[in-house]
Amino acid sequence: MGRQRSGKYPYIDMKIAECFEILQLNRKENGSWAGSEPVGTPEIYLDSHSPVDGNLMGSLSKTSRADYDRIVEKAEAAFRIWRLTPAPKRGEFVRQLGEELRNKKQALGTLVSYEMGKSLQEGLGEVQEMIDICDFATGLSRQLYGLTMHSERPDHRMYEQWHPLGITGVISAFNFPVAVWSWNSALAWVCGNSVIWKPSEKTPLCGIAVQKIVAALLKKNDLPEGLSCLVNGDAEVGRWLAEDTRIPLISATGSTRMGRSVGATVAGRFGKSILELGGNNAIIITPSANLKQVLPAIVFGAVGTAGQRCTSTRRLIIHESVYEQVKSILAQAYRQIRIGDPLDQNNHMGPLVDAQAVLNYTHALQEIERQGGKFLVPGGILEGEAYKTGFYVKPCIVEANPQMDVVREETFAPILYLLSYRELEEAIRIQNEVPQGLSSAIMTESMREAERFLAADGSDCGIANVNIGTSGAEIGGAFGGEKETGGGRESGSDSWKAYMRRQTTTISYSNKLTLAQGIKFDF
């Protein structure tokens, strides 16, 4: 790339150093924050290396158990104050956060791209999601509605109201290192909760950067410490959150394996959880599909973020009458995909996040070959000076059988399986017979086919799209899926209810006690 080096930040190029300065990031960071101030010991535990070029971006300390307990106490104290603050006032804080994110969109988006490896456009898009959810939550702060109901008893009134839960624990994944936190935090704050966030240990500096933005706003608004807390570390720190009875709600994003552990642990203490886990998303292509519209949806869905989205397109279910045509078009399109530094906007795809992701990818390639899959576009690891980290891989296309074990699994990598069908019912059955149930799509010009896909016996996923791909959800709708995807919902619609507790209230303004169901109790 011909990057220059900064004297102050010799470990990264000038462009990233400017982002560090804007976001107030240092070479070494404390990984534990309670509100507006860092806490804990300076012992270094986590090193963040960019998957783009292998450079060491920074180091930070793991949260100790003592620091963790101190942070939870701060979050509890903040909640007791925050829950009594009028919801529109809470919304004003979130509105200001949206403005700060607008001001720092370029810097934060660049950091996301460099630390995680997704394209710069996707990094900027992730920050835009944060801005959008702040806008949504600000309006929501004046619309936390409860229902009124007619009582069967004379001179009585019934209604429901929603109260804050307490502390919301957020465990986020590397592939969306900042957006998923914002989906949860913006809603949790306007609902009256405090937040403790454990970012992925693969992208810890993104978490520190966001925490510093929030910390400045906490000080500016003289708000209680502990409204926004940060803990860093590995699975052990996540386990502390899941086991902690002081935290009534855990929102966890990640693998199905992780979700099984978190969900069982939280349920075992009668806590609440929002789980957004794996996806094995399919697009059904019908004979009437507009292939010019289909092509970019497929390629972006399969190749965007190097296949490391929970909504990535992993299966293409194609009608046999257009199968060969689609196959030919896709093979040609894949030959034009440019892979390289994601900060170079001429490239379509960056690296996988780390060596383990590459290992999972190569293992999947071996399983595809062992199980009888046929490579239309071969995969493999890219070599050369531009790919020196070893995390750059080739997106591949495989002709497969839907019953192959590897097809039924989620591989977080740019592997696309082609499957054929004869009747729409068969296509829907193929789509639904995998364990995951996040996102789905159909490409058709037929209203009947579209409505069949959306009917109760159609797609069993939490997201069902017509004539758009599986990726690219908007914050206005609830996001999440069924089956092994976990059943949780985040972001828009009425997802806010998960961050609150429902209370049903009956008020009597009668001069006598009237029991329900006509019961008499005289003495």
Q: CB neighbours of 207 closer than 8 A, spacing ≥ 6?
A: 177, 178, 181, 197, 199, 230, 232
Q: Does residue 436 lie in a domain region?
A: yes
Contact 358, 391 (CB under 8 A): yes
| CA neighbor of 166 nearest in space, from 87, 240, 246, 90 | 246
Q: Does residue 483 lie in a domain region?
A: no
- pLDDT mean across residues, the chain: 96
Contact 250, 266 (CB under 8 A): yes
Torsion of CA 371, 377, 378, 381, to 10 degrees: -130
Average pLDDT over residues 154-164: 97
CA 489 to chain CA centroid, Å, is: 11
Q: Does residue 7 lie in a domain region?
A: no
25-51 tens-digit pLDDT:
998 999 999 998 899 877 788 999 999
- Whether residues 204 and 351 fall in one domain: no
Provide the pLDDT for residue 2: 42
| CA neighbor of 398 nearest in space, from 425, 429, 377 | 377
Q: Does residue 511 lie in a domain region?
A: no
How many whole angstroms separate alpha carbon 165 and alpha carbon 142? 18
Output the DSSP codes for 31-50.
S-EETTEE-S-----EEEE-
- Whether residues 225 and 316 fall in one domain: no
Give the bridge partners for 197, in sequence order: 170, 230
Provide the pLDDT for residue 43: 79
81-101 tens-digit pLDDT:
999 999 999 999 999 999 999
Check residue 472 and give left, alpha or beta (phi > 0: left; psi -120 to 50: alpha): left
- Whether residues 235 and 378 fall in one domain: no
Provide the pLDDT for residue 291: 93
How many whole angstroms separate alpha carbon 321 and alpha carbon 316? 14
Q: Report yes or no on whether pTM surpasses 0.85.
A: yes
**Domain count along the chain:** 2
- Whether residues 273 and 286 fall in one domain: no
Is residue 465 pLDDT above 70, yes or no? yes
> Which residues are known catalytic residues?
276, 310
Provide the pLDDT for residue 3: 55
Could you identify the residue written with the tokens 């619309």?
143
Contact 35, 229 (CB under 8 A): yes
- Whether residues 106 and 125 fall in one domain: yes
Percent of the chain with pLDDT over 70: 98
Q: Does residue 508 lie in a domain region?
A: no
- Which residue type occupies 373? G
Is residue 374 pLDDT above 70, yes or no? yes
How many whole angstroms separate alpha carbon 452 and alpha carbon 441? 12
- Whether residues 272 and 285 fall in one domain: no
Strand, helix or coil for residue 7: coil
Average pLDDT over residues 441-467: 98
- Whether residues 383 and 270 fall in one domain: no
Confidence of residue 12 (pLDDT cuts 50, 70, 90): confident
Provide the pLDDT for residue 1: 39
394-419 tens-digit pLDDT:
999 999 999 999 999 999 999 999 99
User: In angstroms, what CA-CA distances link 143 with 135, 200, 367, 417?
Assistant: 13, 32, 51, 44
End-to-end CA distance of the chain, in Å? 90
Query: How many degrees, rounded to 5, is the angle at CA 273 between CA 272 and CA 276?
Result: 165
- Whether residues 305 and 170 fall in one domain: no
CA 305 to chain CA centroid, Å, is: 13
165-194 tens-digit pLDDT:
999 999 999 999 999 999 999 999 999 999
Q: Does residue 405 lie in a domain region?
A: yes
- Whether residues 341 and 248 fall in one domain: no
How many whole angstroms separate alpha carbon 281 and alpha carbon 437? 8
- Whether residues 181 and 296 fall in one domain: no
- Tell me the backbone φ, ψ of residue 339, rounded to 5 degrees: -115, 135
523: number of Cβ within 10 Å: 2
Is residue 439 pLDDT above 60, yes or no? yes
Q: Does residue 521 lie in a domain region?
A: no
Query: How many degrees, rounded to 5, is the angle at CA 458 between CA 455 and CA 464?
Result: 85
225-284 tens-digit pLDDT:
999 999 999 999 999 999 999 999 999 999 999 999 999 999 999 999 999 999 999 999
Contact 393, 381 (CB under 8 A): yes
Q: Does residue 120 lie in a domain region?
A: yes
Q: Each residue of 261-291: b (16+ CB within 10 Å) or e?
A: bbbebbeeeebbbbbbbbbbbbbbbbeebee
> Exposed, middle or buried by CB within 10 Å (0-12, 13-18, 19+), for 324?
exposed
Is residue 499 pLDDT above 80, yes or no? yes
CATH of the domain at 443: 3.40.309.10
- Whether residues 466 and 321 fall in one domain: yes
Contact 178, 112 (CB under 8 A): yes
- Which residue type occupies 516? A
- Which residue type occupies 103? N
Could you identify the residue written with the tokens 């909640």?
79
Provide the pLDDT for residue 4: 59
100-136 tens-digit pLDDT:
999 999 999 999 999 999 999 999 999 999 999 999 9
Give the bridge partners for 175, in sequence order: none
How many whole angstroms separate alpha carbon 301 and alpha carbon 282? 10
- Whether residues 338 and 459 fall in one domain: yes
Which residue spans within 86-173 are E strands per DSSP? 148-150, 156-164, 167-171
108: number of Cβ within 10 Å: 26
In which element (H, E) is residue 19 found? helix 14-23
Percent of the chain with pLDDT over 90: 93
DSSP assigned state of 261: H
- Which residue type occupies 357? A
- Tell me the backbone φ, ψ of residue 401, rounded to 5 degrees: -105, 135
Domain limits for position 234 = 14-46+58-277+489-501
Is residue 384 pLDDT above 50, yes or no? yes
CATH of the domain at 212: 3.40.605.10
229: number of Cβ within 10 Å: 29
How many whole angstroms separate alpha carbon 28 and alpha carbon 205? 10
